[in-house]
Amino acid sequence: MPPMPINVGNTAFMLLCSSLVMLMTPGLAFFYGGLVGRRNTLAIMMQSFVSLGWTTVLWFAFGYSMSFGPTWHGVVGNPLHFAFLKGVTLQTMYTGNDAGIPLIVHIAYQMMFAIITPALITGAFANRVTFKAYMLFLTGWLVFVYFPFCHMVWHPEGLLAKWGVLDFAGGIVVHNTAGMAALASILFVGRRRVVENVPHNVPLIALGTGLLWFGWYGFNAGSEFRVDAITASAFLNTDIAASFAAATWLFIEWTHTKQPKFVGLLTGAVAGLATITPAAGYVSPATSALIGVLAGGVCFYAVALKNKLGWDDALDVWGVHGVGGFIGVIFLGIFASKAWNPAGADGLLLGNTSFFLKQLAAVGISSVWAFGFTYGMLWLIDRVTPVRVDHDAEVKGLDAELHGEEAYPQGL
C-alpha cells in the first residue's frame, strides 16, 4: 500500500494549532503570576515554564510512546516502541485518521497538551512547595496519571476509548485529572502561612487570560486534526462558552459583592473554556452557550464552597479546572448530538442513556485515580525530600529564597 500523501493544508493548520497550544503555557504563567503576591511571582511562573522543557524531554524519551504506542491491555502504551522517537522518519504518517499529516506533527501537537496539564496544578499549592519536590511531582504525575489517561482516552485501543467514552480535547485527560490532583495537593501540603488573596498585578492576569483564550482555539479546534466543518464548530463553540461563562460569573459576583470584578470576569472565561473542552466538537453552538452559563454558575459556587470548607486552593484550580472538566464531561454525556458530529454520539437528551453513564463512570474513575495517586505520590516524595518549604522561606517569599531572583527587586 503506497504511503498516504501529505495534506499541506491540514499539516499547516496542525502546526499552527501546536503553536497556539504551546503559547497557552506562558499564558498560564502570566495568569498565575498576576494572581500571586509580588514575592512569589517568579516561583510560580517558573513552574509553568520548566514544564515546557522537562515535559518535552520526557515526551521525547518515552512519553509519546506511553501515550500512543502499542497498547498494554488498553491502559498504557509500550514505552519502548517510540522511545526517543525511534523509527519516526519524514515519511512516517499519522494513521489515526485520513487527514494526511506526518506523525511528527501529531507528536508535537500532543506534546503541548502534556506540557500544560501538570502546570495547571501548580496554582493550587502556590507559595508552599520546594522546587526539587515539584520536579519529582512533575515527573511522577506525567508517568502515572497523564500518559496512561491520554492512552486510555485518545488511543484507538485505549480502554476508555474502546468502551465508547468521548473527550474531544481534554475534559478528562487534562482538566479533571489536573483539578483533582490540585485538590489532593492542597489537602496534603496544608494551608499557607502567609495568605495573600489579593492579586498583585491584574493586568498580568488579563494578559494571561488573553493568551489562554487565544491558544484555546488551537486546543479545541485542533483536536479535530484536520480542517472541516467540525473544526469550525469547535472553534466557535469555544468562544461562545467562554463568553457566556465570563458574563455569568461577572453577574453572579456583581450580585454578591455589589461591584463588577475584572478578575471574576477573567476567571469565569477560563471556567467556560475548561468546561467546553470535552464537548467542543460534539455539540451545537446553542448548546455551547448553555454550557457556558452552567459553567460560570457551577464553578463560581464551587469556589465559594471551597472557601467555606477552608481548602487553601490558592488559585482555584479545583473549582475552575477540576469542576469545569468534570461537569463538561457530564454535559457531553447529556447534550452530545451526531447531527453536529457523525463520528460522535447522541447524548442522554436524545435517548442514549448508556453513553451518559459511560461518561459519568469515566470521569469518576479519572477523579478517583488522579486524587488518590497524587496524594500518595506526594507522601512518597516527602520521604525523599521535603515537599513544603520551611517557615522562613514562605514568609520571605519563594522568589528570593528558592531561586535567588526577584520579579520586583527592592529599590528598582
Across residues 129-139, what is the average pLDDT?
98
What percent of the chain is modeled with pLDDT above 70? 99
> What's residue 4's pLDDT?
75
> What's residue 194's pLDDT?
84
Of 76-80, 191-195, 289-293, 369-373, the range with the lowest mean pLDDT is: 191-195
2 pLDDT more than 90: no
Higher pLDDT, 198 or 154: 154
Q: List, for residues 25-51, the tens digit of each pLDDT value.
A: 999 999 999 999 999 999 999 999 999
Give the C-alpha separation, 148 to 97, whole Å. Answer: 21
What percent of the chain is modeled with pLDDT above 90? 96
Q: List, for residues 64-94, the tens digit of each pLDDT value.
A: 999 999 999 999 999 999 999 999 999 999 9
**So what CATH class is 8-403?**
mainly alpha
> What's residue 315's pLDDT?
93
> What's residue 260's pLDDT?
97
Give the confidence band of 191 by pLDDT, cuts at 50, 70, 90: very high
Across residues 182-195, what is the average pLDDT?
94
Integer angstrom CA distances of residue 385 from 254, 278, 378: 44, 36, 10
Q: What pTM was computed for the model?
A: 0.96
User: How high is the mean pLDDT of the chain?
Assistant: 96
> What's residue 345's pLDDT?
98
Q: Write a three-state SS string for the chain.
A: CCCCCCCHHHHHHHHHHHHHHHHHHHHHHHHHHHHCCHHHHHHHHHHHHHHHHHHHHHHHHHHHHHHHCCEECCCEECCCCCHHHCCCCCCCECCCCCCCCEHHHHHHHHHHHHHHHHHHHCCCCCCCECHHHHHHHHHHHHHHHHHHHHHHHHCCCCHHHHHCCCCCCCHHHHHHHHHHHHHHHHHHHCCCCCCCCCCCCHHHHHHHHHHHHHHHHHHHHHHHCCCCHHHHHHHHHHHHHHHHHHHHHHHHHHHHHCCCCHHHHHHHHHHHHHHHCCCCCCCCHHHHHHHHHHHHHHHHHHHHHHHHHCCCCCCCHHHHHHHHHHHHHHHHHHHCCCCCCCCCCCCHHHCCHHHHHHHHHHHHHHHHHHHHHHHHHHHHHHHHCCCECCHHHHHHCHHHHHHCCCCCCCCC
1 pLDDT more than 70: no
> What's residue 3's pLDDT?
65
Domain ranges of the chain: 8-403
Per the CB < 8 A criterion, the answer to whether 116 and 51 are in contact is: yes
Across residues 219-223, what is the average pLDDT?
98
